Chains A and B, each alone.
Chain A
Amino acid sequence: MYAQLVESGKAETSEQDVAFQKRIDDGIRIEPKDWMPEGYRKTLIRQIGQHAHSEIVGQLPEGNWITRAPTLQRKAILLAKVQDEAGHGLYLYCAAETLGISRDEMTEQLLAGKAKYSSIFNYPTLTWADIGAIGWLVDGAAIMNQVPLQRCSYGPYSRAMIRICKEESFHQRQGFDIMRALVEGTEDQKAMAQDALNRWWWPSLMMFGPSDKDSVHSEQSMRWGIKQNTNDELRQKFVDQTVPQAEWLGLTVPDSELSWNEEKGGYDFGEPDWNEFMEVIKGNGPCNRERLEARQKAWDDGAWFREGLMAHAEKQSAPIAAE
């Protein structure tokens, strides 16, 4: 998802560029001080920034349930998880900063609607089961996207992803465990779990981005070692992994076209509603306005705090007046 709709610039074919491509082909990581084509830098800034923003905006739908978590243990786990997400945002902003952009600039791009974040966070969390579904499906899909990024050609991004992936697998397990508790519970709880799967299944499949034939960016990003797998490959992998888990839970995946294909050794499944996807990307999803408004409010309401700390720091560094 984090790679969705990132267009990459045209590669120039200078000598430097050929040498750069050779390094990537040889599997040598690119580090901040190394020469890199402008398109590579821009693509990474956009992709890492988008990923960081997704972590930050992603706090909102889950944060919506911290104060209502049904047990102390669930509350603690959810708090720990959301804290991790904020921490991921921090590593990622730092990784992007090595490419010559500041965190404040990226925040401004987000608030101005110029930078994207994952479209999944524009869906509302309406019941406790949605917290389970997000962990199980959304984090599950994120892991699929992110595991290959640990091998990304850009060193700081790759290293950030290694740390992030470790935590994401804990997140996915906690989501699955919420679902497990629900399906082992009362009829109301089972219905809550099924309803959450119904609402989160298709948006989760959309997280891998448009079908390969419609994807605007894949080829160059793959050549540059920023992207390792196509959207469709990852989506297939996700479906193959998740459908048996849904069966284990006794839940029904809401796709009438879903069937096992012996020949390909994977599931056949239906097409997500790409019109809906495009609308959400354009800002017309159920919660786009609420999410951006919440981030804008946090930024505006926090201005005095940030300025106050700066004012204090300036006082401390001011030369002591001569007596």
Chain B
Amino acid sequence: MDAFVTFCLRMGDNALILGQRTAEWCGHAPVLEEDIAFANMGLDLIGQTQLWYGLAAEAEGKGRTPDDLAFLRPERQFLNSLLVEQPNTDFGHALMRQYLFDAWHLPMQEELAKSSHEGVRGLAQKTVKEVRYHLDRSRDLIVRLGDGSEESHKRMQDALDWLWPFTADLLATDEVDAQMADEGIAPVPALIAKAFDAETQATLARATLTIPETRLRRTGGRDGIHTEHMGYILAEMQSLQRTYPGARW
């Protein structure tokens, strides 16, 4: 597959799958303000998905629509990082997943807003404000809950311990990233890794949370090798399109 299409799909798939997970909270969050916030973030992420898939579909030139990419691809063709597909074990996991993603997503979008590719640049300039707000919000909650009660601290630490190994998949690099960086379309991956480290080290320390010392690195999502959760996300998300092939909605 064309490197640019792969890059756009990785970005779009991250947004879609995290949006799906986020939307699962609707009506089930711990306070009304969080119901609203999660719906709002989900909405931003679905909007971003449409934009990335639009770029991918256009570059691919096979006549597929953003909806085809979302609803008719099998699991092995989804290229999101493993982090975003992790389940809503509790609200702490959902917040930590969001924070770790945002800590990577914001520097990425800030750099993409300077991309040599007009479509990418326009997209990122439009969405970077949303992403900045997501990080402001998730960072604030990580600090307050990490440095909150004994129980909230424990839950946030458990979430961090569980999710941290999956950040390796956000930061993994391959020849697609190298080519995107060479062409000035996307930033040099090391730059994003550095920003991610600076953000997480500072915030997690303020939150009195400890980054786990682990050799475990969970990667593979960017190549379509997912965790067992992914199949269920797609089974649910794609059910109508799969049951009624060709129907218009």
Contact = CB atoms under 8 A, between A and B. Distances in A.
Contacts of A182: 249
A184 B247 CA distance: 10
Interface string B155-169: 100000000000000
Contact of A294 (B27, B34, B155): B27
Interface in A182-217: 182, 184-186, 188-189
Nearest to B40: A83
Given A59-B35, A89-B32, A302-B91, A67 B20 contact: yes
Interface stretch (B64-72, B102-110, B177-185, B221-229): B64-72
Contact of A56 (B27, B147, B248): B27
Interface stretch (A72-80, A134-142, A166-174): A72-80
B115 to A, nearest CB: 23
Interface string B238-249: 011100101111
A322 to B, nearest CB: 22
Nearest to A76: B46
B132 interface: no
Contact of B151 (A69, A71, A178, A307): A307
Interface string B9-34: 00000001001100110111111111
Given A308-B145, A308-B151, A301 B32 contact: no
B108 to A, nearest CB: 21
Contact of A128 (B29, B40, B147, B240): B240
Interface centre among A60, A72, A189 (most CB of B within 10 A): A72
B144 interface: yes
Contacts, number: 156
B43 interface: yes
Interface string A209-248: 0000000000000000000000000000000000000000
B136 interface: no
A82 B26 contact: yes
Interface string B117-149: 000000000000000000000000001110111
Nearest to A300: B30
Contacts of B42: 66, 79
Given A72-B67, A82-B39, A66 B33 contact: no
A298 B67 contact: no
B152 to A, nearest CB: 3
Contacts of A56: 27, 32
Interface residues on A, range: 35 or more
A24 interface: no
A79 B49 contact: no
A163 interface: no
A294 B28 contact: yes
A304 B95 CA distance: 13
A80 B35 contact: no
A309 B248 contact: no
Interface string A291-322: 00010011101111111111111010000000
Nearest to B241: A70
Contact of A307 (B32, B36, B46, B149): B149
A87 interface: yes
Contact of B249 (A76, A86, A128, A306): A128
A309 B149 CA distance: 8
Interface residues of B, number: 52
Contact of B247 (A76, A186, A308): A186
Contacts of B28: 63, 294, 297-298
A188 B247 contact: yes
B180 to A, nearest CB: 24
A229 B71 CA distance: 47
Contacts of B26: 59, 63, 66, 79, 82
B30 A86 contact: no
Contacts of A2: none
Nearest to A186: B247
Contacts of B155: 304, 308
Contacts of B24: 66-67
Contacts of B35: 59, 83, 86
Contact of A308 (B39, B152, B244, B249): B152
Contacts of A176: none
A255 B246 CA distance: 33
Contact of B240 (A68, A76, A89, A309): A68
Nearest to B36: A86
Nearest to B47: A76
Given A70-B71, A305-B145, A315-B147, A185 B247 contact: yes
Contacts of B49: 72
B237 interface: yes
Contacts of A87: 36
Given A60-B27, A70-B249, A181-B248, A305 B46 contact: no
25 contacts: A59-B26, A60-B27, A63-B27, A68-B237, A68-B239, A70-B247, A71-B67, A73-B67, A75-B46, A82-B26, A83-B36, A86-B27, A86-B32, A90-B33, A103-B32, A185-B248, A294-B27, A299-B30, A301-B30, A305-B30, A305-B145, A309-B152, A311-B152, A312-B143, A315-B147
4 smallest beta-carbon distances between A and B, as pairs: A302-B30, A308-B152, A308-B148, A59-B27
